[in-house]
Amino acid sequence: MGDLKLTNLNKAFGTVHVLHDVNLQIDDGEFVVFVGPSGCGKSTLLRIIAGLEDVTSGAIAIGGRDVGALSPAERKIAMVFQSYALYPHMSVRKNLAFGLENLKFKRAEIDARITEAARMLAIEPYLDRRPKQLSGGQRQRVAIGRAIVRDPDIFLFDEPLSNLDAALRVQTRAEITKLHREMQTTMIYVTHDQVEAMTMADKIVVLRAGRIEQVGSPLELFDHPRNLFVAGFLGSPRMNILKGRVVIGDDRSVLVDVGYPTLLRSDVDPAKVTAGQEVLAGVRPAHFALSDSEGLPFEVQYHESLGTETYVYGNLQGQSAQVIVHRYGHFAPAPGAILKITPQDDRLHVFDPASELALGRVSGRA
Amino acid sequence: MSGNVSAIGFFTRTRRAGRIDITDILSWLWLIGGTLAVLVPVLWAGMSSLKPEAEITRFPPTLLPRTAIQVEVQGFDKPLSLWNVTVDGETREMAMVRRIGLKAQMVDPANPGKPVSVDTRTISPVQRLTVATQNYTDPLTRFSFLTFLKNSVFVTFVATLLTLIVNALAAFALSKYRFRGDKAIFVLIISTLMIPLTVVMVPAYLVIVGVGLVDNLWGVIIPTVASPTGVFLLRQYMLTIPDELIEAARVDAASEFRIFWRIVLPLTAPALAVLAIFSVLWRWNDFLWPLIVLSSRENFTLQVGLNAFQGEFSVQWHYILAMTFLSLIPVTLVFLFLQRYITTGIAGTGMK
Amino acid sequence: MARAAGLADRALDLVMALFEAPINAIERVIGKGRMPYLFLAPNLVLFGIFTFLPIAIAIGYAFTGGADLLISNRPFVGLDNFRKLLACDSYLVPGSCEESLFWTAIWNTLWFVGFNVAATLLVALVTALILNRAIAARGFFRAMFFYPVLLSPVVIGLIWKWFLDRNGLLNAFLQMLGVPPEIFLLDVGWSRFFVVVVSVWFHMGFYTLILLAGLQAIPKDLYEAAAIDAATPSRTLFRITLPLLGPNLLVVLILLMIRSVQIFDEAWVLTNGGGPGTANTFIVQYIYQMAFAGDLRLYGLASAASVLMGLVLLVLTLVQLRLGKKVES
Ligand SMILES: Nc1ncnc2c1ncn2[C@@H]1O[C@H](COP(=O)(O)OP(=O)(O)OP(=O)(O)O)[C@@H](O)[C@H]1O
Ligand SMILES: [Mg+2]
């Protein structure tokens, strides 16, 4: 069974502590994506799961069985490497067969599995070529094929698409998702591309500096980031962060004052805050409503037109950080123009500046 | 002054198309002179090895292997030498019966009638290009040359095979694993580069005596199988094999030895080829160590055998040169076919 | 070609089949993490027995006397061997030394090293500089100069011995010029001269290759810049080429010295064992004769001489390593 449980995992390379008390539960058949900035320990965590790296402390269980002392081969996992790591001196067929031969499979069984995998991935025409004679995308598929023939309990992918061009990446992304639907096997996928994370994952694990920041479905994380880091990491362009102050309304509701007559309404529990407390208010670019009449005055600096949508960059007076506003369609405000913007209902995130933790979310305007 | 400048210019300037100056001429002279210096002694020995024993020490020597022709003539017990004779304005080949002062008695070998008397100053010996193949066949059949050859082939082949495997294993450990003491062991192995065999040959011989390999081909083979140069060369090459390949194989359930044998070794083929070529040359040419270890004739390698021959047949240069040339052939073949490999290997590693 | 590859595969398979089971059994017992020690074992055992153990023995033997092989049967003589080697009225006059052959060999070696290093370096450098020019058939010439490097010292000794023979080609050539023939190898001066000639002939191709690699590593744009700056060829040579080649030259110099000190094989064959007399007896030959060639096998004396030579080589190697480090940084 392909469920995985990590308990209090720690990893240090010499004196460098790279993973801190990682606890994680992954269910059988889930597609889990590890995301995080470069160097946060995604690959290390994946390699520990694979058995390519020892843990410093903590336990790993696959299918309820402690695999800490087992070799990669004994863990019933298969891995797709970023560089594909195809054996350059072997034909595609031999590449696929190598693992099965090592496990002493019968010839007939090996051939059957190769045929099946080659059909699934449409690599039959290349079976007798060497990896060098394949395109990047074809190599990628062979690398996946090598994992498939092993029929593992868990697939591990380490940034498998980062060597492909943009169009191929989109296509392969869809193919891997389809593969997962067909096979219903647990897949753990490392990437630092948040689009991959959002589109492919059943469950996203956000890592920062060796710690898990948040675990949840893509939309949970998008809508309810637990802290400022997750909020900033998911979503492109990133969430706008405004400095503000808590105002307690007459009805004991918590409002946020960002320096304008208009107060922003939040759903923060009033027991958690005091009036006048400094907070950070986060609004995604797409969650501003533009109007000519009411809202916060937004001075346009420039804009980027992507065709189907437009991003407008500018300033709110009294706010040091640049603010980005998203709009569908063509839109060309003149630099220096003043627009009025308002966060949509339910879309304001409030964070404590010291702990960076989310305090709650706005539900409408005051 | 200007001569000085151009002499130096000839080292630095690169040739411009279509212009030939003094520096080019000097360069070409140097290169052609050098080529001749390399070739002449070798070719001279080669030519000489084809000459019959009687001809080889003739001084001044002839360039090509020629011999005077002898013919059997009816009515004469001994074969007679053949000469070019001009009689009545017509040149003929005639056999000399005897020679008295300035006169020689000649007969027609095909039709031996009454000898004619001719002036010796008008005749010249008939020489034919003859290759003294027995210079080569005699050592192969009569002397122990074939035994030496067999021993050398055995030593070269086995030693090269062992050198490749033993050093590739060590290089694999030192390039693809991190383990306690890895750096120290690497430094230890490389430090033996500093200790040439000439320094330890006396005690190394004692070790050979101790393990009972005196006068045994294995005693020649084993002591230099572990080669710091080999470990270094192979390790540097293996470092360029991506670690992900090893990990992929590990995920593919390959044992460590299988990873070495199936993944790392085939991918190290270019470096192994370079080391193999060097090992073949080292072993084939090795002299001092086999000279020390081997004492009985049936165990001699080619080089030791050649050295022994030149002591025994000190005047029989025709045999010595023929055997020298035979032993030169494999090396020359290696050179002709693998020259590029060898020169890039040396330029890349500085080894020999 | 494909057949050969198939055969190689078969051979690899066979070895795999033979060795895999036992090695994998070991892997299961000791664990993957200790496998590198197993892979290193053959190498380290051989190094231990045939390099490190001999070093220890050499040092031990240097302090013992007698002609017995077993160290337990050898009387301890302290520094006697060294004292014997070093006892001398004047080191400049080998005849005045107790072990005069040792000092003859040292002086012969020193002279040889001096001339051989200078001559080889000069010839190799000139050849490398010429080959570095954009010259036609460069590959051919490079190969030609390199060819002797591959030959065996014995073969080279014999080929040259024949070339220099009383009836050899060189004498024939001299006779054409009207010079009387000479038995070069029986003349002290000529034989020493030709030992150097043969050594240069033998090894210069190797050093040419190393210097050529160094020359080709000098960026071409430096020469272009120099040409734009209107530098004369001599300035370019002395201000750009040689300084940039300097590190390589130093390495070649040390390497050449280390190898020259160990001259033996080709000289031994060429000069019939160091003749005429002891004119070409070098230090390795001295060690060889003391230990293996005489009626009395003076292992102690030979070991002491080996230790002394080893120290000299060690110093040279350390200098080389230091230079190598400097070159890298
Ligand atoms: N073998 C190692 N020895 C020492 N430190 C290491 C080793 N491998 C990784 N690290 C360190 O551990 C940290 C995490 O590395 P890891 O490769 O897991 O990052 P990552 O999240 O995969 O980054 P990327 O997105 O760039 O691939 C990094 O700071 C890295 O420097
Ligand atoms: Mg990574």
| Domain edges within chain A | 4-232, 241-351
Nearest-CB residue to A85 (from B248, B253, B266): B248
What ipTM did this prediction achieve?
0.81
Nearest-CB residue to B251 (from A72, A86, A89): A72
Task: For residues C53 and B195, give the distance between their C-alpha atoms in angstroms, rounded to a whole number.
Answer: 12
Q: Is A71 in the pocket of ligand 1 (CB under 6 A)?
A: no
Q: Is A342 in the pocket of ligand 1 (CB under 6 A)?
A: no
- Compare all CA atoms of chain B with the CA of C60 and give the residue at the minimum distance: B203
The bridge status of strand A186-190 relative to strand A31-35 is parallel
DSSP three-state, residue A341: strand
Nearest-CB residue to B287 (from C52, C154, C206): C154
Give the homologous superfamily in CATH for domain A4-232: P-loop containing nucleotide triphosphate hydrolases (3.40.50.300)
Ligand 1 atom with the shortest distance to the CA of A82:
27
Task: For residues A140 and A136, give the distance between their C-alpha atoms in angstroms, rounded to a whole number.
Answer: 6
Report CA(B146)–ligand 2 centroid distance (Å). 61
Task: For residues C4 and B335, give the distance between their C-alpha atoms in angstroms, rounded to a whole number.
Answer: 21
Q: How does pLDDT run along chain A (366 residues), one tens digit per residue? A: 789 999 999 999 989 999 999 999 999 999 999 999 999 999 999 999 999 988 999 999 999 899 988 888 889 999 999 888 999 999 999 999 999 999 989 999 999 999 999 998 889 999 999 999 999 889 999 999 999 999 999 999 999 888 888 888 888 899 899 999 998 999 999 998 888 999 999 999 999 999 999 999 998 888 888 889 999 888 888 899 988 888 887 787 788 887 776 777 777 777 788 888 888 888 899 888 887 777 788 889 999 998 899 999 998 877 888 899 998 888 888 898 888 888 776 678 888 888 888 886 533 222
Tokens 């520096």 sit on residue:
B23
Ligand nearest to the CA of A53: 1
Residue A71 to residue B266, Cβ atoms within 8 A: no
Backbone angles phi, psi at B201, to 5 degrees: -65, -35
Gap from C288 CA to chain B (nearest CA, Å): 8
Residue nearest to atom 16 of ligand 1 (CA): A41
Task: Classify residue A298 as left (phi > 0), alpha (psi -120 to 50) or beta.
Answer: beta
Q: What is the largest CA-CA distance in chain B?
A: 99
Residue B244 to residue A50, Cβ atoms within 8 A: no
Q: What is the largest CA-CA distance in chain C?
A: 81
Residue nearest to atom 22 of ligand 1 (CA): A43
Q: Is A347 in the pocket of ligand 1 (CB under 6 A)?
A: no
Residue nearest to atom 4 of ligand 1 (CA): A13
In chain C, CATH 1.10.3720.10 covers: 90-328
Which pair of tokens denotes residue A306? Answer: 């992507």
Helix ranges restricted to H, C31-99? 35-47, 53-61, 80-86
Cis ω on the peptide bond leading into residue B242 (within 30° of 0)?
no
Instruction: Judge contact between C62 and B211, C-beta under 8 A.
Output: no
The bridge status of strand A186-190 relative to strand A154-158 is parallel
Closest CA to A282 of A217, A347, A202: A347
Closest CA to A142 of A71, A186, A133, B244: A133
pTM: 0.81
Instruction: Judge contact between B252 and A98, C-beta under 8 A.
Output: yes
Task: For residues B13 and B33, give the distance between their C-alpha atoms in angstroms, rounded to a whole number.
Answer: 21
The bridge status of strand B66-68 relative to strand A77-80 is unpaired
Instruction: Judge contact between B249 and A52, C-beta under 8 A.
Output: no
The string of DSSP codes covering A131-144 is: GGGS-HHHHHHHHH
DSSP letter, residue B122: G
Ligand 1 atom with the shortest distance to the CA of A44:
18
CATH number of this structure's domain A241-351? 2.40.50.140
Instruction: Judge contact between C282 and C267, C-beta under 8 A.
Output: yes
Report CA(B231)–ligand 1 centroid distance (Å). 30
pLDDT digits (tens, 9 = 90+) for C228-287: 777 777 788 888 888 888 878 887 888 888 889 889 888 988 998 887 888 889 988 998
Task: For residues B14 and B9, give the distance between their C-alpha atoms in angstroms, rounded to a whole number.
Answer: 9
Burial class (CB in 10 A: 0-12, 13-18, 19+), B23: buried
Cis ω on the peptide bond leading into residue C42 (within 30° of 0)?
no
Task: For residues C263 and C266, give the distance between their C-alpha atoms in angstroms, rounded to a whole number.
Answer: 8
Give the homologous superfamily in CATH for domain C90-328: MetI-like (1.10.3720.10)
Task: For residues A78 and A147, give the distance between their C-alpha atoms in angstroms, rounded to a whole number.
Answer: 5
Inter-axis angle of helices B145-176 and B228-239, nearest 10: 50
Report CA(B346)–ligand 2 centroid distance (Å). 38
